């Protein structure tokens, strides 16, 4: 079974700082990768996804993530964070097969951006 | 816009009570999921369903059951609530043709006293 590790549990940054959140997964086959975000008091929503093709994917609100297959990683980046990026971020993986439906989530990273 | 609605945002129950958490989606999605979210543990899959009256166990099904009598509704049942089931419960749905893209409800925060 696959698993996902997010090593940063809580990250605190000042506005305009650059962000990188780590995500590593364990699975030997082809995967689909996701970042979800949960803003305070809001429901979980998709930030970006990787299925195939260009390993650098861009999502909403200026976020991007790079899939590095050799490192089993899918780190989330943003060059300049804003106070409104304060949220909890979850990395998730699913195996790339026709019947795949289950997402396996990491433990989440709480990002606090100080104004 | 896809809408996944969970019937309660907050729920307080006593140990031993039978608890029903309801989830309704309005996009005719085939797949529906129940997760629980706990600090430091992320989201863990309890049960999911890919069709009416079909269900499959997720990673932590013990102490839970589910019911899917209609396509749009997926219920999570705690037969006899215990304090270790105090948690945030999230429902999600996805269509068959894009099964990996899940849409989440706002969550139900359940406290078992």
pLDDT of residue B36: 97
Do B19 and B38 touch, CB atoms closer than 8 A? Answer: no
B53-58 mean pLDDT: 91
More confident residue, B59 or A20: A20
pLDDT of residue A31: 87
**Could you tell me if A14 lies within 8 Å of chain B, comparing CB atoms?**
no
Give the range among A30-34, A110-114, B60-64, B108-112 with minimum mean pLDDT: A30-34
CA distance B50 to B108: 22
pLDDT of residue A103: 87
Assign A54 a pLDDT band (cuts: 50, 70, 90): very high
* Matching residue, tokens 């994917």: A57
CA distance A66 to A78: 11
Domain with residue A64: its CATH number is: 2.60.40.10
Give the range among A30-39, A94-103, B32-41 with minimum mean pLDDT: A94-103
Q: Measured between CA atoms, how close is B55 to chain A, in angstroms?
A: 12
Which chain A residues are closer than 8 Å to B106 by Cβ? Answer: 42-43
A43: containing domain: 3-114
Instruction: Using only the alpha carbons of chain A, give its radius of gyration.
Output: 14
Domain-by-domain residue ranges, chain B?
4-112
pLDDT of residue A96: 65
Each residue's pLDDT tens digit, B83-109: 999 999 999 999 887 777 899 999 999
Fold of B4-112: Immunoglobulin-like (2.60.40)
Contacts of residues B48-52 at CB distance under 8 Å and 24 or more positions apart, as own/partner, are: B48/A101, B48/A102, B49/B74, B50/A101, B50/B96
Assign A99 a pLDDT band (cuts: 50, 70, 90): low
B57-70 mean pLDDT: 95
For the record, the structure tokens of B1 come out as 């816009």
Our count of domains for chain A comes to: 1
B104–A9 CB contact, under 8 Å: no
């Amino acid at each position: 079974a696959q698993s996902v590790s997010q090593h940063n549990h809580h990250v605190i940054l000042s506005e305009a700082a650059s962000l990188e959140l780590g995500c590593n997964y364990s699975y030997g086959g082809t995967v689909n990768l996701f970042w979800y975000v949960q803003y305070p008091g809001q429901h979980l929503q998709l930030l970006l996804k990787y299925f195939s093709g260009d390993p650098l994917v861009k999502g909403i609100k200026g976020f991007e993530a790079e899939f590095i297959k050799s490192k089993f990683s899918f780190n989330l980046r943003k060059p300049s964070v804003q106070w409104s990026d304060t949220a909890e971020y979850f990395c998730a993986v699913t195996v790339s097969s026709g019947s795949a439906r289950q997402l396996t989530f990491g433990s989440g990273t709480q990002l606090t951006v100080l104004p | 816009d896809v809408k996944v609605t969970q019937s309660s945002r907050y729920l307080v129950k006593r140990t031993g009570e039978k608890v029903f958490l309801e989830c309704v989606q309005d996009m005719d999605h085939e797949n529906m999921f129940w997760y629980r979210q706990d600090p430091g543990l992320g989201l863990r899959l309890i049960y999911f369903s890919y069709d009416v009256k079909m269900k499959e166990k997720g990673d932590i099904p013990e102490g839970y059951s589910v019911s899917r009598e209609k396509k749009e509704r997926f219920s999570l049942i705690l037969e006899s609530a215990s304090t270790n089931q105090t948690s945030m419960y999230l429902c999600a749905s996805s269509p068959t043709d894009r099964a990996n893209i899940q849409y989440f409800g706002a969550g139900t925060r359940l406290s078992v006293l």
